[in-house]
Amino acid sequence: ASGNPGGPASAVPPGYVSPDGEEVAAAERGRARGAVREIRLTATPSSLDLGDRTVRTWTYGDELPGRPVRVTAGDTLAVRLDNNLPRSTTLHWHGIALRNDMDGVPGVTQQPIRPGASFDYRFAVPDPGTYWFHPHSGVQLDRGLYAPLIVEDPREPLEYDHEWIVMLDDWVDGVDGSTPDAVLDELTGGRARMAGMDDSEGAQDTEDLEGADGGPGGRPAGPSRRLRGARSRLLEGDPGDVAYPYYLVNGRAPEDPRAFRAKPGDRIRIRFVNVGGDTPFRVALGGHTMTVTHTDGYPVEHTTTDALLLGMAERYDVLVTAQDGVFPLVALAEGKGGAAMALLRTSDGAAAPPPSVRPRELDGRLLTADRLKAAEDVRLTPRDPDRTVRLRMTGSMARYDWAINGKPYDPAQRYPVRAGERVRVSFINGTDMWHPMHLHGHTFQLPGGGPRKDTTIVLPHHKVDVEFDADNPGLWMVHCHNIYHSESGLMTIIGYR
Ligand code: C2O
Ligand code: CU
């Protein structure tokens, strides 16, 4: 069964204010300059070996991360997704300026893809860079459903001997019988699910209810001991009786890390992606400095640092020259007391450091996005904004009532802008938590000639003004990329045609 037998248009829900077919087709012709790349993906339940334990989870093709998808800028990506999951799902192409009807937001840009159904995504990929994809259905991305999308630059200016993709994850799925859905339920008392935010039609897997106090379809009477445990471990990183949450590099726990190999003197391009649901990571490579070349896919003026801070969904590309030995690449769960690790090995026989190692670079110069400048060729031409959209993040940890301007997510609400406008989005954080704010379909710019990004950290009680050009009509989500915040309400829509 195909979810879109008559092509994408038939899959678009009523009330969708997309640009008309002509407009989309014309924009698409301008973007599609290259080959068509056909790929088949299956979302499926899997058993995964994390290095020291096996968990039941959901993956793309039984791998964690899913296999990288590689295209060249200008190519058209044609992906058939087969949904073998027990729930509806979608695919969202994080950071890509694509046609709106392929953006993968259920109930907004397409109907959910039912269990057993398929959907054909087909869109031109205009810009080179490091991207990734994940479902936009509930908290599914906090299972094993994520993979890199690498868009090659036909005129690649960087020279390097190796390219590594490093995906950093916090892991809660299946470790002690809990699931991300159960954690969300516990955080919100079932509110998010009942509001239909995760498009699961009120259905709940029996595995999700295991250990909960409610019955199937019923309102949980109160957090069970297990779920209370899951919550505090997720939020505070309390190791408890298992090392939990797990912190993973490319799907492996620090006890059995991935090892990358190179020769001393080799130049390595590392593409870091934080795919965690709830964890910022501070990242360093022992014995090395890193030169940042890109963030969120877009080039920056090269900047050298000891450590990087990555909010959820952010990407950084760095260049490193390999030294001689075995070096820990450590991603510290910021504020949580856990870490993920991988190894850089340039000599045989040398012993690997223990998983508890803390390279001194982690405490050295720490780079955050506000210290970067966009490379000249991607800098927006300065101009006064035509409009300012003020998005104030509200809510508290205790009530878990995250919202924008006091209103939890409502799929019928839009912040309207007009095509052709320079739009300023003022992210105002009125809460005590920090939030990685993400806009779909566009890459905004940070103030003062700052980097082009699609996701930016907004610190507690701080404001960040970003600007973008409204050049890609449609309905575009703006949300916190802490998946538990967005699914409990910190999400809205900017729309224009
Ligand atoms: Cu990674 Cu709504 O996105
Ligand atoms: Cu948030």
Among 18-22, 39-43, 278-282, whose mean pLDDT is lowest?
18-22
**Residue 289 alpha carbon to ligand 1 centre in Å:** 30
Residue 361 lies in a domain: yes
C-alpha–C-alpha distance, residues 366 and 122, integer Å: 39
Q: Are residues 101 and 28 in the same domain?
A: yes
Residue nearest to atom 1 of ligand 1 (CA): 94
Condensed to tens digits (0 to 9), the pLDDT of residues 88-116 reads 999 999 999 999 999 999 999 999 999 99
For 397-462, the DSSP string reads: TTTT--EETTB---TT--EE--TT-EEEEEEEE-SSS-EEEEETT--EE-TTT--EESEEEE-TT-
DSSP 8-state symbol, 298: E
Residues 329/344, Cβ–Cβ less than 8 Å: yes
Q: Identify residue 42 by its one-letter amino acid code.
A: T
Q: Relative to the CA of 105, which ligand 1 atom is closest?
A: 2
Where residue 293 sits, what CATH number does that domain have?
2.60.40.420
Contacts of 158 (CB under 8 A, 6+ apart): 269, 293, 319
Where among 218, 236, 254 does a domain terminate? 236
CA atoms within 13 A on the CB side of 177: 11
**Residue 433 alpha carbon to ligand 2 centre in Å:** 7
Q: Cβ < 6 Å from ligand 1: which residues? A: 92, 94, 134, 136, 313, 438, 440, 477, 479, 481
Q: Which of 486, 380, 359 is nearest to 424 (CA)?
A: 380
Q: Relative to the CA of 134, which ligand 1 atom is closest?
A: 1
Condensed to tens digits (0 to 9), the pLDDT of residues 258-314 reads 999 999 999 999 999 999 999 999 999 999 999 999 999 999 999 999 999 999 999
Domain hosting 132: range is 8-156
Number of domains in the chain: 4
**Residue 486 alpha carbon to ligand 2 centre in Å:** 7
pLDDT at 238 > cutoff 80 = no
Q: What pTM, to 2 d.p., does this model score?
A: 0.90
**Residue 90 alpha carbon to ligand 2 centre in Å:** 22
Residue 167 lies in a domain: no
Condensed to tens digits (0 to 9), the pLDDT of residues 316-331 reads 999 999 999 999 999 9
Q: Which residues of 90-114 are buried (b: 16+ CB within 10 A; e: fewer)?
A: bbbbbbbbbbbbbbbbbbbbbbbbe
Q: Are residues 363 and 387 in the same domain?
A: no
Q: Relative to the CA of 132, which ligand 1 atom is closest?
A: 1
Counting ligands in written order, the one closest to the CA of 437 is 2
Residue 164 lies in a domain: no
Where among 372, 404, 423 does a domain terminate? 372
The complex's ipTM works out to 0.97
Residue 386 lies in a domain: yes
**DSSP helix/strand/coil, 330:** strand
Residue 462 lies in a domain: yes
C-alpha–C-alpha distance, residues 229 and 241, integer Å: 10
**Residue 95 alpha carbon to ligand 1 centre in Å:** 8
Q: Relative to the CA of 479, which ligand 1 atom is closest?
A: 2
Tell me the residues surrounding ligand 2 (ion) with CB < 5 Å.
Answer: 435, 480, 482, 485
Q: What is the pLDDT of residue 169?
A: 96
**Residue 92 alpha carbon to ligand 1 centre in Å:** 7
Measured at the alpha carbon of residue 471, what is the angle toward residues 10 and 369, in degrees to the nearest 5? Answer: 115
Where among 337, 352, 372 does a domain terminate? 372
Residue 174 lies in a domain: no
